[in-house]
Amino acid sequence: MRIHTGEKPFSCKECDTGFGCRSNLNAHMRIHTGEKPFSCKKCRKSFHNGFGLRLHMRTHTGEKPFSCKECDSSFSRRFNLKRHMRIHTGEKPFSCKECDTGFGCRSNLNAHMRIHTGEKPFSCKKCSKSFNQISHLKTHMRIHTGEKPFSCIKCSKTFNQKSSLKSHMRTHTGEKPFSCIKCSKSFNQTSSLKSHMITHTGDEPFSC
């Protein structure tokens, strides 16, 4: 009945969080005490409660019980399915207060906010460059490692970025999605379109 009434008579003395039953309070207290009595038999990880252990076990079993009804994606956690569904519904509940851009998950909003703050917490250990997203750092690291994980299925060329492979594939398909608004010419890369636009604007951006 406390689910319906919202009553939470058991309160944490450390942070004032309320609970509907004592067992949930006891499990919560382990966050403050650091106690982790639930251990994984496959690896050394331990958890505050049995629920955390059950979720973790799916990383070993590969179990993904939460399936999307719109596509073939499936997830190990209900929360991840709920977040995924926003791709289909278009829901963007997390908004930037600086520019009103919306996001489907808070982590994407947090990453976006670094554009406004200028924060770049992910630094390259090989050079002085830093980035506002860890994915950008991972892509950058391939410059140092020489890794090129994206291969063209038409020829033997490989690339360190998916976007570079996508751009390259247009040389095989003949697709030219970037069109000039001044004339009828179109291009397979934005850089080619920008170079072309100079013929219309008369700009001379390159100085000797």
- In this structure, are residues 47 and 58 in contact, taking their beta carbons and an 8 Å threshold? no
Q: Per-residue pLDDT tens for 52-85?
A: 899 999 999 999 999 999 999 999 999 999 999 9
pLDDT at 176: 92
**Alpha helices (H) in the chain, listed in sequence order:** 2-5, 22-33, 50-61, 78-89, 106-117, 134-145, 162-173, 190-201
| Site of tokens 């001379």 | 204
pLDDT at 206: 85
In this structure, what token pair is assigned to residue 102? 């919306």
- In this structure, are residues 152 and 168 in contact, taking their beta carbons and an 8 Å threshold? yes
pLDDT at 16: 84
Give the whole-angstrom CA distance, residue 185 versus residue 179: 6
In the chain, count H helices and then E strands.
Answer: 8, 14
State the sign of the Cα–Cα–Cα–Cα dihedral 79, 81, 87, 91. Answer: negative
Give the whole-angstrom CA distance, residue 33 versus residue 43: 22
Give the whole-angstrom CA distance, residue 128 versus residue 115: 19
- Residues 7-12, mean pLDDT to the nearest whole number: 94
Alpha carbon distance, N-terminus to C-terminus of the chain = 79
Q: Per-residue pLDDT tens for 181-207?
A: 999 899 998 889 999 999 998 888 888
Q: Per-residue pLDDT tens for 91-111?
A: 999 999 999 899 998 989 999
- Residues 164-181, mean pLDDT to the nearest whole number: 92
Please state, rounded to an integer, the average pLDDT across all residues of the chain. Answer: 92
